[in-house]
Amino acid sequence: MARVKRKNKTSIPSKYILLALTGVCVLLMFGSFTFGWVSGPVGDAASYVFIPMQRGLTTVGNWISDKTYELANLKNVMKENEELKTQVDQLTDELNTQKLEQYDTEDLRALLALDEGYSEYNKVAASVIGKDAGNWFDTFLIDKGSNDGICEGMNVITGRGLAGIITEVGSNYAKVRAIIDDMSSVSGMVLSTSDNCMIKGDLQTMDERQMITFSNLKDTDNKVSVGDQVVTSYISSEYVQGLLIGYISEIHVNSNNLTKSGLISPVVDFEHVKHVLVITDLKTTTQDQEE
Candidates 18-26, 89-97, 149-157, 224-232 — which segment interacts with other proteins by CB under 8 A? 18-26
- The DSSP-derived string for the chain is -HHHHHHHHSS--HHHHHHHHHHHHHHHHHHHHHS----HHHHHHHHHHHHHHHHHHHHHHHHHHHHHHHHHS-HHHHHHHHHHHHHHHHHHHHHHHHHHHHHHTSHHHHHTTTT--GGGS-EEEEEEEEE-SSSS--EEEES--GGGT--TT-EEE-SSSEEEEEEEE-SS-EEEEETTSTT-EEEEEETTT--EEEEE--HHHHHHHS-EEEEEE--TT----TT-EEEE-TT-SSS-TT-EEEEEEEEEE-TTSS-EEEEEEESS-GGG--EEEEE-PPPPP-TTT--
Footprint of other proteins on 71-110 (CB under 8 A)? none
Nearer to other proteins, 129 or 224 (CB): 129
Contact stretch for other proteins (CB under 8 A) within 92-100, 136-144, 226-234, 261-269: 136-144
> Which range of residues in 17-25, 79-87, 153-161, 282-290 is near other proteins by CB under 8 A?
17-25
Q: Which of residues 260-289 bind other proteins (CB under 8 A)?
A: 271
Residue 133 in the binding site for other proteins (CB under 8 A): yes
- The stretch among 79-87, 96-104, 167-175, 241-249 that binds other proteins (CB under 8 A) is 167-175
Out of 62, 216, 259, 280, point to the residue binding other proteins (CB under 8 A): 62
Of positions 92, 127, 146, 167, contacts other proteins by CB under 8 A: 167
Binders of other proteins: how many residues, by CB under 8 A?
A: 55
Q: Interface residues with other proteins (CB under 8 A)?
A: 14, 17-18, 21-22, 24-29, 31-33, 37-39, 42-43, 46-47, 49-50, 53-54, 57-58, 60-62, 64-65, 68, 129-137, 139, 141, 167, 173, 175, 177, 182-183, 203-204, 207-208, 271
